[in-house]
Amino acid sequence: MSPSLSILASWVNSPGLNWRQVTLSLTTAKFIFMSYMNIRQLSVLLRDKPPKSLEAAFTQDAYDKSREYSLDKIKCSIAINIWLYCENLVYIKFNVYLQLWRASVYASSVLPVLLAAIELLTHNLMILPFMYYRDFYLEEKHGFNNSTFSQWLKNKLKGYSVQLVLRSLLVAGTLKVVELAGDLFIWYTWLFISMFIVVVGTLYPYLIMPLFYKSKPLSPGKLKDSIDRLAHKNKFPLTNVNVIDGSKTSSHSNAFFTGFPWSKHIFLYDTMVDKFEVEETTAVLAHEIGHWKLNHVLISTVFEQCQLLLILSAFSLFYNNPYLYSSFGFDYTPVYVKFLIFCYILTPMNCALQFMSNVLSRKHEYEADAYVVSLDYEEHLVAALIKLDKDNGGALDSHWLYSAYHRSHPLLNERLQAIRQVPRKKK
């Protein structure tokens, strides 16, 4: 540990602090902060007129429809926030980590992984009714859902299983690294987790996405030609364009690309292929190519790595803090439990990092939109963004603080205003 970190560690390693009280206070402060943002957002959504700049694109009827969807979702977020707060209170008040640890002691060789699994399963099961209300009932109520309840439940359970496998691999791998690395554990853990994230992210469309969606290559035709021309013009190393059967579960639309630096794969939802004009889909992909051209993927990855390193450095401060863990009933504390308890202390830093990553992401969105304008797709991008917002039920208005914390993308009216202000090339 560096000398400055050692000084900080000895400062937090003080017997005078009541750590259980500290974690309770931080959890309560976060709950109040989230509630404040939710209520401010609710009050914005009660406005019955669309923002001025969207009056031409949205009829009062379309605005009301979108507003009701956002209102239902924010009410659900308020309920989830209360529920998660209660869950955290129960965990802290009743030493649930200690109970779970004792329950998993019977399978000693896989203890931490088992603990991670129990913790994840308990949380997922408790939150399932809220997920049903938000992701099935509300989607159905507002006309976005195309799946049956049994399909939805099957997909949810599949999602939980994938989460369980990935978390178990991550926990088992990280603990092995911590055990082998000794004092240098921050650096090696950082390296391991970074590699894990990059590998899972790259393999996601090939290993995980096929569990939920079927994809097939885009058939030759106008759209394929238009995408090929766009990729060629921008020297984008496009290997193939795939269409995903997203319409099977929902009418929401999306498009993204993935792959290695030398070979990229574009994925389009069939909902987009069916409903969007060729030029509109091309404009959406031009935006994605803009992210690639302007190195946004690389910049975001470096930013995430710095975040991870910061979190691990903070963890090292509390790693040998006996007062923190004993306040939760532990005399010997396994590394994984140390990390779970540390997450309570991490709350303020996590909130700050969330604001910062949204600032970066929004900046990238504006830049990628400006890139599309430079390719002369402005009108098609505007049309596509309006359609995407209608298809996805995006909020048309938002409180600034709620937006800053929750939204990685600017609102539709903010994007349209920014697009109009992009300096045009002289022809």
Catalytic residues: 288, 369
Residue 422 DSSP SS3: coil
- Residues in the interface with Zn ion (CB under 5 A) total 2
The CB-of-412 to Zn ion minimum distance in angstroms stands at: 13
Is the Cβ of residue 67 or residue 252 nearer to Zn ion in the bound state? Answer: 252
In terms of Cα–Cα distance, which of 85, 109, 105, 87 is closest to 96? 87
Q: CA-to-CA distance for 108 and 114, rounded, in angstroms?
A: 9
Task: Please check whether residue 127 is in contact with residue 358, taking contact to mean a CB–CB distance below 8 angstroms.
Answer: no
DSSP state of 109: G
Task: Please check whether residue 235 is in contact with residue 225, taking contact to mean a CB–CB distance below 8 angstroms.
Answer: no
Q: CA-to-CA distance for 38 and 81, rounded, in angstroms?
A: 9
Is the Cβ of residue 119 or residue 365 nearer to Zn ion in the bound state? Answer: 365
The CB-of-285 to Zn ion minimum distance in angstroms stands at: 11
- Binding-site string for Zn ion from residue 91 to residue 130, where x marks contact by CB under 5 A and - marks none: ----------------------------------------
Q: Is 287 annotated as a binding residue?
A: yes
According to CB under 5 A, which residues from 387 to 426 bind Zn ion?
Answer: none
Q: CA-to-CA distance for 253 and 247, rounded, in angstroms?
A: 8
Say which residues have a Cβ less than 8 Å from residue 193's Cβ, sequence separation at least 6: 170, 174, 308
Q: CA-to-CA distance for 211 and 218, rounded, in angstroms?
A: 20
Is the Cβ of residue 270 or residue 365 nearer to Zn ion in the bound state? Answer: 365
CA atoms within 13 A on the CB side of 384: 27
Phi, psi of 206 (to 5 degrees): -95, -35
The CB-of-386 to Zn ion minimum distance in angstroms stands at: 16
The CA-CA-CA angle for residues 344, 347, 348, to 5°, reads 140
According to CB under 5 A, which residues from 125 to 154 bind Zn ion?
Answer: none
In terms of Cα–Cα distance, which of 296, 267, 135 is closest to 204? 267
The CB-of-287 to Zn ion minimum distance in angstroms stands at: 6
Is the Cβ of residue 218 or residue 368 nearer to Zn ion in the bound state? Answer: 368
Is the Cβ of residue 243 or residue 368 nearer to Zn ion in the bound state? Answer: 368
- Binding-site string for Zn ion from residue 354 to residue 373, where x marks contact by CB under 5 A and - marks none: -----------x--x-----
The four Cα atoms 247, 259, 380, 373 give a dihedral, to 10 degrees, of 160
The CA-CA-CA angle for residues 347, 69, 121, to 5°, reads 45
Q: Across-strand partners of 200?
A: none
Classify strands 215-217 and 238-244 as parallel, antiparallel or unpaired: antiparallel
- Binding-site string for Zn ion from residue 317 to residue 356, where x marks contact by CB under 5 A and - marks none: ----------------------------------------
The CB-of-368 to Zn ion minimum distance in angstroms stands at: 5
Q: CA-to-CA distance for 185 and 312, rounded, in angstroms?
A: 9
Is the Cβ of residue 28 or residue 295 nearer to Zn ion in the bound state? Answer: 295
Is the Cβ of residue 368 or residue 382 nearer to Zn ion in the bound state? Answer: 368
Burial per residue of 10-25, b for 16 or more beta-carbon CB atoms within 10 angstroms, e otherwise = eebbeeeeebbeebbe
Q: Is 291 annotated as a binding residue?
A: yes
Take residue 366 and report the two structure tokens written for it. 């504006």
Annotated binding site for Zn(2+): 287, 291, 365
Annotated binding site: 287, 291, 365
Residues near Zn ion (CB under 5 A) = 365, 368
